[in-house]
Structure formats: C-alpha cells, structure tokens
C-alpha cells in the first residue's frame, strides 16, 4: 500500500555527493537546497516559476527548483551553481567556462540572478554540438527564460558566446 | 593620477564569490533563525475593527504574534518622515503595524514569528482581521478630484505643493510669439530588484548588543533608526548590508516597518529572527514610482527657441510620504535638462492615493521630467515643421556657458548650477551614432516591408552625487594588505572593484592587495547611502582623499628612514623609493609597521622593520603631537553641490500596423559622466538602465483597479523584460570632467533609464503620426489610439503621406 | 509564498494511484509536472489536502505516433513532445504549438497532459486538442474511458473529470491527407501565455482548391472552441484564396474577453490577423502534402 505522508526522508545526489534530509512533504526543492542542505547559491526571486533565479539541474536538465517539491527528487541527482566548477586535484577549483565568461564579460552586477543563468547556460552549452559556431538564435534560446534586473542582458549574451567559443577551442 | 588602473576595465573582484554561489545575501544568513511573516491588509482603505488571533494559537511551531497593541515607546509612534521639507505641509507616515487604519493593500497589520516561514504563513492565514471599508482613492486624477480623502484630515489629498519659478512666466508667455499647451501622463512602475528586501537580527543578551543584517542601500541610517526606535544606544547596534541582490532605490527607504519589527522580536524573544520578503509582498508592501499628470504650457518663437515654460504636475505619492518630496523636487528641477529656459515656473502637487508608497526608483523623478521637456521639444518641432534635433540644438546650453545657473534649488537644497558639459557635442554624436539623417530612408525601407518605422530622441542632464558627505578609510597593514572601507552600500555597482582601483592608483599598490568593505557600520559608521548616482562621486572621492592621506603619511615616515625629502619619494608596486635613485627603498608594509611605535615581533614584517630605525629624538614623545599610530587615514568628501552628468538617447521603433506590436530596432546612447573609473562597469550600468527604460516605456506598469487592488502583483503579469524584449544598444562616450571633485567624476548609475520613455514615445509618434500622450504604451493601447476618432494627428503626419492607418 | 500543509503520496502504479485518490477522497489532487499547480499552492490559491504525485507511475511517459495519430502519455514533458520527430510528422501542430509553451526550463518539467487537465484557455495544448478533434483517456476506479475534447472542457480551469481519476494520455488524431497546419501566437514577452494565438488546419480537395478550413484560438473565450471558416474561402485556389475574408469571418465568430494585457477588441483584431497569416502558411503546407 502506498504511504501517504507529511514528512519524508530523502536521499539526493547533490553536486555528486549523496545527501540525506528529512523534510516536510511541502518543502520546495529551492528551500531544501538552501535551508536544509545549506547550499545557498541557488536563489529565490519569485517562487512562481518566472524569474529562473532558482534554476538547478535535475538529472542534467534545467528546472525551476521553486516548482518542484524536495520529496520529488528523492533518488535523483541535482546540480547547483556550487557544483559547476570541478576540483583541480591540487586543492583548487577549475571554473566552468561559463563562470569564467561571466567574469570576463561583466555579465553580472548584483549577482542574484547569476546562479540560475549559470546552470541554465552550462546545461545549454553542454547539450549542443560544441564544435559548431553558436548562433544568435541559440544564444537567445539559452538565456531567454531567466530574468535579470541589472545587466540588460547584453553582457550575459556576450558571455554565452564567449563560453561557447572557449568550449569549442577546448574541443 | 599616478598609475594606469584608474580608467581601466578592470575585471570585478566581487565576481569570484558570486559566480561560484558563495555570495552571502540576506536569506543566506541565519540558518537557525525564526521566521517572520505578516498579515497584510487586503483592503486599500479601511478601519480595523477587530483582530482575532485565536485560530493561529494552536499552530505547532508558532512562537509569537505582534499587533499594534504590542508596540511600545517610539515603536508605537508613526514612522519617521525621513526628509521633511517646508513645502511638504501635510506629511503622513504609517506605523510599523497598522494602528486602527490601513491605507493601502499590503500594509502590515500583524507580525507572526514561527519556527519557519511555512509555519509562519500557516499561522498568518488563520488570523482573522475585521475591517470596515472606507472609500478608496486610486490615481492622480482621483486624488485631485478629492471626492474621497486618503487621510481624513487632508480633504484635498495634497501632501505638498512644490513651487519654483525663475521669473514672471505669465508675462513671458504673453509676450511669446507662439505658445502651446498639452497634458500628458506617465504611469507607475517599480524598482523590482530580483532579491526582495529582508532583515535578520540577532540580540546578544550577554553584552546587550544587536546585530542586524538588512538588504538595504543605507545601513548607517538603518542603524540610527533602529537605535532610536528600540531605545538602544547607537554603540549597541551594528547594521550590515550583506551582498544585496539589486536595489534601484527601493532599499534606500528606511526604516521599513520590518527593519524595526524584526530586531524588536529578536530582542523580545532572545532568538535570531529573519524576514525575507517574498515577491508578492514586494509588489504590495514596498514602493513604486513614476505616476504623474503633467500640464505643460510653453512659449517659443518661430525658430523654435523657448521663451517660457510653465509646468503644473500632479504626482502620486501613494499612501504616505516617508521619503518626503524628493521625487517631485527632482522632476521639477531636472526637467529643464540641457536647455536654456529663459523663464520657468513649475508647480508639483504631491497627492495621496490608497496605493503603495512612492519613493525613488532609478531616475527618481527624472524620467518624468525628461518626458515633459523632451515631448515639449517634439511638439514645438511638430508645430513649426522643424527637425526635432534642430529644435533641440537651438535651445541647448552651449559649451562655453558653464558653470550654468538655472536659478533653481535642487533636492539637496543647493542651487542647480551645472558644473560642466558639452550638450551640442552629445547631440552631434547621437545624430551620427543613430544616423539621424538616414531615418527617412529607413522609414521607406520599412514601409516596403509593411512596417511603420519611427525615431525619437531625448536628452537629459542628471544631477548626481549630491551631498552632504561620504567618508572613506584606508589602512595599510604590516602584511602589505590595504583595507578600505566606506559606509555606503553596494547592490551590484562593483564598488569593491572601482574603489580598489582608485586606492591602487592613488597609493601605488597592486589592486590584489586592496580589500574594500562597504555598508558595514562596524567598519565605517558615517554614511548617507547609495542613491542618486552618488556612490562613485562621493565615496570614490572620499576614498581617494583618504588614500592621499595615507600616502602623505607613508612618504613622511619613509623620508625619515631614507633620509630624503618626501617630495623626492614615490610609491610604486608597494615600495617607497627615491625617484631616480635605485636601491634607496623601503616596502610600504614596512612603513606600516614603523608607523606604530609599539612593535611586538609577531610576524616577519615586524622583524624586518627592525632594520630600519625611525629617526626620533629623545625630547619628543614617540607619537608626535597631531600624529597617530598606524598607517591609516580617514577622510570625508563633501561637495558644495551636485555634479551634472548628461546624455542623449535615440530609439528607432518598427510597428506592425496589423497587430500594433512595437519593436525597438535600434537604441543609441551617448553619455557623459566625466572621468570614468572603470568603463566596463559604467557601460554595464548603461545597459541595465536602458533595459529598465525600455521596460518602463513598453512593458511595465502597476495596474491598480478602482478598489486599489494591484492586479498584476506577480512576475507573470508585471512584465519585466526577458532578454528577448531588450534591444541591442550602441553606446558612444564623451568625457567632460567635473571641476567640482578631485577625481573629476560624475555619477552614472541612473542615467540609462531616464530618457527611455520620452525617446520611445517620440519614436512611436513619429512612426504612427498619432500623438502619444500617455506612457507606457502596449500594443492594445496603441490599437486604441490608432482607431480612436479623438486621437490627435501630428502635423508631421499630415505633411507625410501614407502614414498611419 | 509557501504551500499550505498537505499529505503526499507517490504511488508506483496507476492502480495504487487510484486507490490513494479514492482513500483520500475529495481533497486529493493529482500532481504531474507541477508547473501550474505548485505556483497556485505557493500563492495559497489552492490548498488540496493530499497530493497524489503520478511521476513514479510507470508506463505513462511514451509518445506513440501511428498513422491514426499521436498518443501522449501523462508523464510526457513538453520538451519530449517538442523533440519527437515522429509525432511532428503525424501531427505537425504538436511541435508547432508546444514550441510556444513557456520557456525551456518549464517545458522540461511540465506535461502536455497536465496542461490539458488544467484546462487553461490560455494554454496552447487545450486548443490543439480541440483543433485536432482529440480526446483523453481517463482512468478511474470504474475503468478507462475516452473523453472527447468537447465533453472535457467545461470552463476556465475546469474539466468534466471529477472524483478519483487520472488522465493517462491524450490522443491527437493525425493530420488528414491533403491538409496543412500552422500555429502562431502573440505574447507580450516571448514565452508568456499568449495574448492571442491561433492554430489552423486547411484541407484541400483533389482539385487543390480549399475544401475545409478550421481554426482554434488561444486566450480567446472560456473554453477552447473550433471554428469552421470554410465558407469564406471554399473552392478557392491556394494562390488566390481570400484569407483576409477568412480572418474577417473568424472575428465575427469569436467572443473574447478583455484583461490587463489586451482588450476584447484587440483580441478580436488579432484573431483576424493571426487567422490570415496562419492560413496562408497552412495552405502552402497542404499544397506540398497534396503534391507528395
Ligand atoms: C512561468 C510559466 C510559464 C508558463 N507558460 C505557459 C504557456 O505559455 N503555455 C502553457 O500552456 N502553459 C504554460 N505554463 C504552464 C505549463 O505548461 C504547465 O506545465 C501545464 O499547464 C501544466 O502541466 P503540469 O504537468 O505542470 O501539471 P500540474 O501543474 O502538475 O497540474 C495542473 C493541474 O492539472 C491536474 N493534472 C495534471 N496532470 C493530470 C493527470 N494526468 N490527470 C488528472 N489531473 C491532472 C492537476 O491536478 C492540476 O490541477 C507556464 C508555467 C509557468 C510556471
Ligand atoms: S524563484 Fe523559481 S523561478 Fe523565480
Ligand atoms: S545581476 Fe542583478 S539581477 Fe542579474
């Protein structure tokens, strides 16, 4: 018989690390990441799915973490902005090309929208054929679903092109 | 300037943490904190007859409920009128929690504290507040008609009547060869930072001290407000602005009710308490801006030269006036822009409505002023059949007329005297950048594709960097690190970088060694705040002065050690040396150690310093009179008046005459903010401002219904643009340094947003041949204009054939 | 903005899902992609006692494209349908309309069937179901039944499905022979719900003249409707057809409402314009498919 609960223990692989938490079933994934797991890099700007600040990757695809309950990702793998860079095995970190590009192109001001953009763009760039030159339509599609109040987007789009070029060169 | 860092597009130092998710925003703080939520008024105007909390009491996890009855002392008094003004004759402010009456939807009535926000909302939902509804006033026209009053004792709804005049306008109009009069409207939008407001407070009962984090643009003043309202000694309160996810003005207002209530609860409960505003709260419980009705009469001659300007505006200030009449004053005084207006009279009536308060949103009254002035220029050009650029050119203040006195009084009480500028230069650059003469050709090309093309332009002058002051502190440590602090706050403007550039340049140290702290009252207790494009001007100069003080002291100490004249010394790469004499050097960090006569050898730096004997004489104290230990300096910059930045924007729109969709196909910006610390950052500010300008012209508005309900209180219906709605922007620069401050800089933060509404309205009018007298405008509204029998045709449309439907 | 408390179950089979729905009674609601339901919960505009999450129910995630049409399982995300080439061949309207649903991150999670069950007249897929003359399969404790779109949509955000039931799939009949389709919409911001949208089907007769024209609109009216515009262009050749007349006819048939983003009149205007535009495209496609 299916159990009907108000609270659940879940195991989620977050940024490659299995994490356990006991959460009320109504806990939004955004809140679970931020407040139960302490991963405050994921931001919350609207809690109704429009701004994209809360975007994380669930099993590799961008989704709004404010529109998913934590219990729903039990057993899944989640990537947040904290998981974009990887270890250089010398105590440091190698940033994802899109992180580098954001800094290089001044694609952030207050930085609040940034994590949502970064994970969305990282997934978008990884899903495409990186040997091909990126088109403006692709850039528009990748950044089109996230709000930024500070930058006017010009430099965010520039950063996407920059990161795509870096990834192309890296092969 | 000494080194090349000033003026370079140095990559931002704050980015390293922000791109890796290590930023620390308000809601990232205080994992153990109790959470606050509010019961807010669902009515725009009502008397509270009863508050029944019974139903909430058995919510598991509920910690406390506060209503007005629980407020004591100064907390039970109305919130402060931050900026009183003699012409604000009927100021009103709310209470931290409503005291018997509510004046807008969203006003806080009850505060709930619980173990987490979910539970706090559960409890809030069960609290029953009974209301007796009162008549509602929405919009400037309703306020003006005064069929009902927002505040009973103010039957005409007028909070302030701001009035300035530079001569006898009636006589000047009577003597003008031509005059024209018109009325126009501009609607409400809002700052809408992606991070809402938020407050976290922790009370330490052991030493009776309070630490508050607030997502604010003015931490020092929040601190003073909390101390006063909660009756604490200022020393016992510290306020820190952590990383702030955008402000644009709404976070300069203080104290917000929550900024007082959260600390109050933290003290009473002896537990950390946090409130992180959610998006709906931000829509109905913070601030908006921009609604005005403007009645304009202008006198001019046959060449289009203005002889007199008479403006009467009604400004919707919402339910209360905590921020005084800054916005109407800015509209009144900045309206004249780059033009020489022989006689000018302006009256702005600031009126109450049962809506969210109106306080500065990036531009702060300037977009409205620019809309008034620039649309006046368009009308004159239209009547006379002149090119719109030409009419503007004929009215511009010329480059040799500076300083130019408008004989007006600015928001800071100082005269409006433009310090420097080159407005004809701006206009010429703009015409070239957008190819103004080529517009007719583009119009024809668009017409061949079935589109209506039109262009518009708007110029502005922006008083930036108002006083009274800002301070900076610079300290060189024995490690060689340079600590810099200033009291004002950052919300994405890159202060950690540009201030570090200034210090690195002034002091001759690598930027990597400079660490900047802003908005932390523990580090710098005196500040005014980040608004009015003042941070770079005010704190930038204060920090430069502080760095110069440190440099002077360093050279003095090094001179003693190196037995040289301070004038012969220079600092490069953190080493003080004698100019032209290699070898005779001392590291700056060693000078820092030497600056303090007490030198326990805790570290290598101190040990090394022992090889340098600092010349001293036995008959003088180790710390000379007037000197102080440590290589540090604190200084303040207080300008005599604002410095005036300027710019010119042009927009080209294409309109689909079947659907009336409006597409901004080109957007050109020429701007002049004097010397630039970091052009990359300034350009970023322009891009962001333009996006908000376009948004305010075509997408965003606060849609209230007649009952005072905000109908689009979500990102679903309040149309903040995505990337798809923001046009590409081309930018050209002009640099007219300010003679008023040591660095020659002017503010750049707000400029981008100011001319958007005016330029786009002009472009739509140009494309359609129909008068556009109300902004923003959406396709459905443009359709209404186009088919309305009452829509006014422009004269230009009459001269052109085939325009319009 | 946090959801009110509820009870939660994520059954591992359809039968279990129905069992839980029965056991939990009136206050139970199905949770699919959550992209419409969760915002409503967070704003506390809805507060079901129990959510029955069907995301772990096996067998609901397939798109089956056959000669008859396309069957879309209840857990097929918008994105999956958008990328399904076979489905696009059988019924091109599916991908064309889905491309206009929200932004990619929403499409990664939201389901096609969920948007039909949600019955939002501003949603693209409700209209597409209508225009293709589609139906849904409803599983309830009593067994399965097929509900045609006309019987399904009762009002805005309201379907005829009551009591414990799960919509297990939606069926979109194939595009008929000698037919073409087109879809277009106008939204204030790209990705927003449409201010007005139009889907059309043009069918030619053997002599390549217009035989039948139908259209369905988004954000127009309380429930999706299909309008027959044939009389305006019947018997005309594709090249010379008076699509504007069809647009004009459409304007007289619809009964839109006004809201914040568009007046009723403006919507009516757009109905005409979009009809004209989409018909021209659809006719070209019909011609190509007739030639082939
Ligand atoms: C920012 C944003 C923009 C959007 N823009 C658009 C847009 O432009 N066009 C558009 O069409 N949609 C849009 N959506 C909504 C989105 O498409 C949703 O995915 C869709 O409407 C609902 O599907 P869902 O799977 O998410 O359903 P849910 O949210 O899980 O459920 C919606 C409703 O349907 C019921 N339900 C769902 N599945 C079933 C089932 N199998 N059986 C019985 N009942 C069921 C639920 O009980 C609930 O009442 C947008 C959403 C957001 C957040
Ligand atoms: S917080 Fe999730 S989309 Fe805005
Ligand atoms: S950088 Fe501030 S919202 Fe994007």
DSSP string over B317-351: EES--TTTTHHHHHHHHHTTTTB--SSEEEEEEEE
Which tokens go with C261? 């983003």
Higher pLDDT, B714 or B8: B714
Give pLDDT tens digits for B250-308. Answer: 999 999 999 999 999 999 999 999 999 999 999 999 999 999 999 999 999 999 999 99
Higher pLDDT, B535 or A159: A159
The span from the CA of C25 to the CA of C30, in Å, is: 12
Per-residue confidence (pLDDT) for residue C251, from 0 to 100 = 98
CB contact under 8 A, A145 and C106: yes
**CB of B285 sitting under 6 A from ligand 3:** no
What ipTM goes with this model?
Answer: 0.97
Count of beta carbons in the 10 Å neighbourhood of residue B510: 15
List domains and CATH numbers for chain C: 1-175 (3.30.465.10), 179-291 (3.30.390.50)
Per-residue confidence (pLDDT) for residue B600, from 0 to 100 = 67
Compute, in angstroms, the gap from residue A146 CA to the centroid of ligand 3.
10
Give me the half-sphere count of Cα atoms (radius 13 Å) on the Cβ side of residue C144. 10
Three-class HEC string of B503-571: HHHHHCCCHHHEEEEECECCCCCCCCCCCCCCHHHHHHHHHHHHHHHHHHHHHHHHHHHHCCCHHHEEE
Cβ pairs A/C, distance under 8 A: 104
CB < 8 Å from A in window 83-102 of C = 102
CB < 8 Å from A in window 491-510 of B = 491-494
Confidence of residue B804 (pLDDT cuts 50, 70, 90): very low
Task: Give the residue-averaged pLDDT of B723-749.
Answer: 92
At the topology level, CATH places domain A86-170 in DNA polymerase; domain 1 (1.10.150)
At the topology level, CATH places domain B292-465+641-799 in Aldehyde Oxidoreductase; domain 4 (3.30.365)
**C231 neighbors C131 (Cβ within 8 angstroms):** no
- Domain edges within chain A: 7-83, 86-170
**CB of A109 sitting under 6 A from ligand 3:** yes
The span from the CA of B589 to the CA of B552, in Å, is: 15
CB contact under 8 A, A111 and B491: no
Backbone Cα Rg of chain A: 17
The span from the CA of B476 to the CA of B730, in Å, is: 41
Find, among B569, B530, B523, the residue nearest to B546 by Cα.
B523
The span from the CA of C74 to the CA of C91, in Å, is: 18
Q: Tokens 């709404």, residue?
A: B250
Find, among A101, A69, A87, A85, the residue nearest to A169 by Cα.
A101
Report whether pLDDT(B805) > 50.
Answer: no
Give pLDDT tens digits for B144-188. Answer: 999 999 999 999 999 999 999 999 999 999 999 999 999 999 999
Q: Tokens 């325009």, residue?
A: B803
CB contact under 8 A, C263 and B780: yes
Residues 6 or more apart whose Cβ sits within 8 Å of residue C53: A69, A71, A72, C8, C9, C10, C11, C31
**Can B292-465+641-799 and B467-637 be said to share one CATH topology?**
yes
Indicate left, alpha or beta for C156 from its phi (over 0: left) and psi (-120 to 50: alpha).
Answer: beta
Confidence of residue B615 (pLDDT cuts 50, 70, 90): low
Minimum-distance ligand 1 atom for the alpha carbon of C110: 19
Q: Which residue of C has its CA nearest to A30?
A: C2
Strands B209-214 and B237-240: parallel
Task: Give the residue-averaged pLDDT of A84-91.
Answer: 88
A157-161, B638-642, B700-704, C190-194: which has the minimum mean pLDDT?
B638-642
The span from the CA of B547 to the CA of C21, in Å, is: 71
Per-residue confidence (pLDDT) for residue B551, from 0 to 100 = 95
Per-residue confidence (pLDDT) for residue B63, from 0 to 100 = 98
End-to-end CA distance of chain A: 51
Give pLDDT tens digits for B202-261. Answer: 999 999 999 999 999 998 999 999 999 999 999 999 999 999 999 999 999 999 999 999
Report whether pLDDT(B613) > 70.
Answer: no
Confidence of residue B710 (pLDDT cuts 50, 70, 90): very high
**C161 neighbors C147 (Cβ within 8 angstroms):** yes
Find, among C61, C26, C32, C33, the residue nearest to C47 by Cα.
C26
Per-residue confidence (pLDDT) for residue B413, from 0 to 100 = 84
Cβ pairs A/B, distance under 8 A: 166
DSSP 3-state of B424: helix
Per-residue confidence (pLDDT) for residue B616, from 0 to 100 = 63
In eight-state DSSP terms, residue B11 is P
Q: Tell me the CATH architecture of domain B27-134+197-244+251-285.
A: Alpha-Beta Complex (3.90)
CATH of domain A7-83: 3.10.20.30
Compute, in angstroms, the gap from residue C67 CA to the centroid of ligand 1.
28
DSSP 3-state of C232: helix
DSSP 3-state of A145: coil
CB < 8 Å from B in window 50-89 of A = 50-51, 53, 80-82, 84-85
Residue B165 burial by Cβ neighbours in a 10 Å radius (0-12, 13-18, 19+): middle
CATH of domain B467-637: 3.30.365.10
Per-residue confidence (pLDDT) for residue B10, from 0 to 100 = 87
Comparing CB atoms, the residue among A26, A141, A144 nearest residue C3 is A26
Chain C residues with beta carbon closer than 8 angstroms to that of A141:
104
Give pLDDT tens digits for B565-591. Answer: 999 999 999 999 998 888 889 999 999
DSSP 3-state of C235: coil
Give pLDDT tens digits for C122-180. Answer: 999 999 999 999 999 999 999 999 999 999 999 999 999 998 999 999 999 999 999 99
Per-residue confidence (pLDDT) for residue B574, from 0 to 100 = 93
Residue nearest to atom 37 of ligand 1 (CA): C114
**B261 neighbors B120 (Cβ within 8 angstroms):** no
Give pLDDT tens digits for B93-141. Answer: 999 999 999 999 999 999 999 999 999 999 999 999 999 999 999 999 9
**CB of A64 sitting under 6 A from ligand 2:** yes
Residue B715 burial by Cβ neighbours in a 10 Å radius (0-12, 13-18, 19+): buried
Report whether pLDDT(B490) > 90.
Answer: no
Pocket test for ligand 3, best of A114, A121, A155 (most atoms within 8 A of CB): A114
Per-residue confidence (pLDDT) for residue B492, from 0 to 100 = 84
Residues 6 or more apart whose Cβ sits within 8 Å of residue B96: B71, B75, B79, B108, B229, B257, B260, B261
Kindly give the confidence (pLDDT) of every residue in chain C, 292 residues in length, as a single tens digit, with 9 standing for 90 and above.
999 999 999 999 999 999 999 999 999 999 999 999 999 999 999 999 999 999 999 999 999 999 999 999 999 999 999 999 999 999 999 999 999 999 999 999 999 999 999 999 999 999 999 999 999 999 999 999 999 999 999 999 999 999 899 999 999 999 999 999 999 999 999 999 999 999 999 999 999 999 999 999 999 999 999 999 999 999 999 999 999 999 999 999 999 999 999 999 999 999 999 999 999 999 999 999 987 5
Does any CB of chain B come closer than 8 Å to the CB of residue A159?
A: no
Per-residue confidence (pLDDT) for residue B611, from 0 to 100 = 67
Residues 6 or more apart whose Cβ sits within 8 Å of residue A24: A6, A7, B118, C5
Find, among B595, B545, B594, B547, the residue nearest to B571 by Cα.
B547
Give, to the nearest 10 degrees, the angle between helix B326-334 and helix B366-384: 30
Share of chain B above pLDDT 90, in %: 80
Q: Specify the DSSP element, H or E, that contains B127.
A: none
Find, among A107, A103, A156, A150, the residue nearest to B686 by Cα.
A150
Compute, in angstroms, the gap from residue B242 CA to the centroid of ligand 1.
37
Residue nearest to atom 4 of ligand 3 (CA): A148
Query: Rounded mean pLDDT of chain B?
Result: 93
Confidence of residue B641 (pLDDT cuts 50, 70, 90): confident
Report whether pLDDT(B64) > 60.
Answer: yes
Does any CB of chain A come closer than 8 Å to the CB of residue C277?
A: no
Per-residue confidence (pLDDT) for residue B801, from 0 to 100 = 59
Give me the half-sphere count of Cα atoms (radius 13 Å) on the Cβ side of residue B728. 8
The span from the CA of A37 to the CA of A21, in Å, is: 8
**C29 neighbors B307 (Cβ within 8 angstroms):** no
The span from the CA of B353 to the CA of B148, in Å, is: 10
- Domain edges within chain B: 27-134+197-244+251-285, 292-465+641-799, 467-637
Which tokens go with B478? 């024995």
**C220 neighbors C254 (Cβ within 8 angstroms):** yes
The span from the CA of B224 to the CA of B213, in Å, is: 14
């Amino acid at each position: 018989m299916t159990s009907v609960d108000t609270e659940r223990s879940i195991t989620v692989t977050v940024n490659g690390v299995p994490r356990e938490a006991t959460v009320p079933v109504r806990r939004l994934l955004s809140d679970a990441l931020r407040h139960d797991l302490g991963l405050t890099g994921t931001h919350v700007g609207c809690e109704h799915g429009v701004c994209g600040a809360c975007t994380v990757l669930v099993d590799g695809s961008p989704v709004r973490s404010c529109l998913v309950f934590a219990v729903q990702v039990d057993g899944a793998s989640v990537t947040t902005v904290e998981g974009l860079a990887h270890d250089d095995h010398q105590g440091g970190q190698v940033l994802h090309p899109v992180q580098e590009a954001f800094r290089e192109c001044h694609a952030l001001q207050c930085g609040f929208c940034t994590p949502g953009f970064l994970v969305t763009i990282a997934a978008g760039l990884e899903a495409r054929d990186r040997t091909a030159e990126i088109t403006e339509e692709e850039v528009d599609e990748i950044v089109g679903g996230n709000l930024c109040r500070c930058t006017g987007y010009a430099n965010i789009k520039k950063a996407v092109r920059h990161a795509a070029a870096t990834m192309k060169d890296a092969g | 300037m000494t080194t090349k860092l000033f003026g370079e597009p140095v990559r931002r130092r704050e980015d390293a943490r922000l791109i890796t998710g290590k930023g620390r925003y308000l809601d990232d703080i205080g994992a153990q904190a109790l959470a606050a939520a509010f019961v807010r008024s669902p009515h725009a105007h009502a008397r509270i007859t009863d508050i029944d909390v019974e139903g909430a009491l058995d919510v598991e996890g509920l910690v406390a409920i506060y209503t007005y009855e629980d407020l004591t002392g100064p907390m039970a008094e109305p919130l402060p009128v931050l900026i009183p003004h003699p012409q604000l004759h009927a100021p009103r402010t709310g209470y931290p929690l409503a005291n018997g009456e509510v004046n807008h939807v969203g006003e806080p009535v009850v505060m709930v504290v619980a173990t987490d926000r979910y539970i706090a909302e559960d409890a809030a939902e069960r609290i029953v507040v009974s209301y007796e509804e009162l008549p509602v006033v929405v919009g400037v026209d309703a306020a003006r008609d005064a069929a009902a009053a927002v505040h009973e004792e103010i039957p005409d709804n007028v909070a302030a009547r701001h009035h300035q005049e530079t001569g006898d306008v009636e006589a000047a109009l009577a003597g003008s060869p031509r005059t024209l009069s018109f009325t126009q409207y501009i609607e409400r939008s809002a700052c809408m930072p992606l991070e809402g407001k938020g407050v976290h407070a922790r009370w330490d009962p052991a030493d009776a001290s309070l630490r508050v984090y607030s997502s604010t643009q003015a931490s020092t003043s929040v601190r003073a407000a909390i101390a006063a309202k909660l009756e604490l000694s200022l020393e016992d309160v510290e306020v820190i602005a952590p990383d702030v996810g955008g402000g644009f003005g709404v976070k300069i207002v203080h104290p917000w009710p929550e900024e007082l209530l959260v600390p109050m609860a933290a003290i009473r409960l002896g537990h950390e308490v946090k409130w992180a505003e959610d998006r709906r709260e931000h829509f109905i419980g913070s601030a908006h801006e921009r609604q005005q009705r403007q009645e304009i009469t202008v006198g001019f001659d046959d060449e289009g030269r203005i002889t007199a300007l008479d403006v009467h505006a009604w400004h919707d200030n919402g339910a209360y006036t905590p921020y005084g009449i800054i916005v109407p004053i800015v509209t009144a005084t900045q309206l004249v822009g780059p033009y020489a207006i022989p006689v000018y009279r302006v009256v702005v009536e600031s009126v109450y409505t049962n809506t969210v308060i109106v306080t500065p949103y990036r531009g702060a009254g300037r977009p409205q002023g620019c809309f008034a002035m620039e649309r006046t220029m368009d009308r004159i050009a239209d009547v006379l059949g002149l090119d719109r650029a030409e009419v503007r050119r004929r009215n511009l203040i010329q480059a040799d007329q500076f300083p130019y006195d408008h004989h007006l009084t600015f928001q800071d009480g100082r005269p409006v005297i433009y310090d420097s500028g080159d407005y004809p230069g701006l206009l010429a650059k703009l015409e070239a950048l957008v190819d103004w003469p080529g517009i007719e050709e583009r119009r024809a090309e668009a017409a061949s594709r079935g589109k209506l093309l039109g262009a518009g332009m708007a110029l502005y002058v922006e008083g930036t960097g108002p006083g009274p002051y800002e301070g900076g502190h610079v300290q060189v440590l024995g490690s060689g690190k340079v600590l810099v602090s200033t009291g004002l706050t950052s919300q994405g403007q890159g202060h950690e970088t540009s201030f570090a550039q200034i210090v690195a340049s002034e002091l001759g140290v690598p930027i990597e060694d400079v660490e900047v702290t802003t908005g932390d009252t523990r580090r710098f207790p005196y500040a005014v705040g980040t608004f009015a494009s003042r941070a770079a001007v005010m704190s930038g100069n204060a920090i430069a002065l502080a760095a110069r003080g440190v440099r002077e002291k360093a050279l003095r100490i090094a001179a003693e050690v190196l037995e040289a004249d301070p004038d012969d010394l220079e600092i490069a790469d953190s080493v003080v040396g004698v100019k032209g004499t290699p070898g005779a050097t001392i590291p700056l960090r060693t000078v820092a150690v030497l600056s303090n006569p007490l030198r326990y050898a805790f570290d290598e730096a101190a040990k090394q310093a022992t090889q340098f004997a600092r010349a001293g004489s036995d008959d003088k104290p180790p710390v000379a009179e007037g000197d102080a230990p440590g290589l540090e300096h604190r200084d303040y910059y207080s300008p005599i008046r604002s410095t005036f930045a300027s710019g010119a924007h042009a927009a080209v729109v294409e309109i689909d005459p079947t659907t009336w969709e409006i597409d901004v196909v080109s957007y050109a910006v020429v701007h002049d903010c004097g010397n630039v610390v970091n052009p990359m950052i300034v350009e970023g500010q322009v891009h962001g401002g333009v996006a908000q300008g376009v948004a305010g012209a075509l997408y965003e508005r606060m849609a209230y219904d007649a009952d005072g309900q905000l109908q689009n209180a979500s990102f679903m219906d309040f149309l903040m643009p995505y990337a798809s709605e923001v046009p590409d922007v081309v930018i050209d620069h002009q640099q007219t340094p300010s003679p008023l401050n040591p660095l020659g800089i002017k503010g750049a933060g707000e400029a981008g947003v100011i001319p958007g509404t005016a330029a786009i309205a002009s472009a739509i009018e140009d494309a359609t041949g129909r008068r556009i007298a109300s902004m923003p405008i959406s396709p459905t509204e443009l359709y209404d204009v186009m088919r309305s029998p009452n829509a006014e045709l422009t004269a230009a449309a009459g001269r052109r054939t085939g325009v319009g439907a | 903005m946090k959801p009110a408390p509820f009870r939660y179950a994520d059954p591992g089979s359809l039968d279990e899902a129905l069992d839980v729905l029965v056991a939990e009674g009136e206050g139970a609601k199905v949770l699919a992609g959550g992209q419409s339901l969760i915002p409503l919960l967070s704003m506390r505009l809805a507060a079901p006692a129990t959510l029955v999450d069907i995301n772990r129910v096996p067998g609901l995630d397939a798109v089956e494209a056959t000669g008859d049409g396309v069957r879309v399982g209840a857990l097929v995300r918008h994105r999956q349908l958008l990328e399904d080439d076979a489905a696009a061949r059988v019924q091109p309207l599916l991908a064309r309309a889905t491309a206009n649903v929200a932004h990619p991150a929403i499409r990664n999670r939201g389901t096609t069937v969920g948007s039909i069950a949600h019955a939002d007249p501003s949603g693209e897929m409700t209209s597409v179901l209508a225009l293709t003359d589609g139906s849904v399969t409803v599983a309830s404790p009593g067994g399965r039944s097929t509900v045609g779109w006309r019987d399904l949509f009762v009002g805005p955000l309201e379907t005829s499905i009551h009591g414990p039931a799960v919509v297990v799939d939606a069926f979109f009949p194939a595009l008929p022979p000698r037919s073409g389709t087109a879809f277009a919409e106008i939204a204030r911001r790209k990705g927003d719900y449409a201010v007005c949208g139009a889907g059309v089907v043009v069918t030619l007769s053997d002599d390549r003249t217009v035989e039948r024209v139908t259209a369905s609109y988004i954000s127009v009216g309380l429930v999706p409707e299909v309008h027959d515009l044939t009389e305006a262009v019947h018997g005309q050749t594709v090249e010379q057809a008076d699509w504007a007349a069809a647009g004009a006819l459409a304007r007289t048939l619809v009964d839109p409402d006004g809201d914040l983003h568009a007046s009723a009149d403006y919507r009516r205007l757009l109905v005409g314009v979009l009809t004209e535009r989409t018909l021209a495209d659809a006719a070209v496609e019909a011609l190509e498919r007739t030639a082939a």
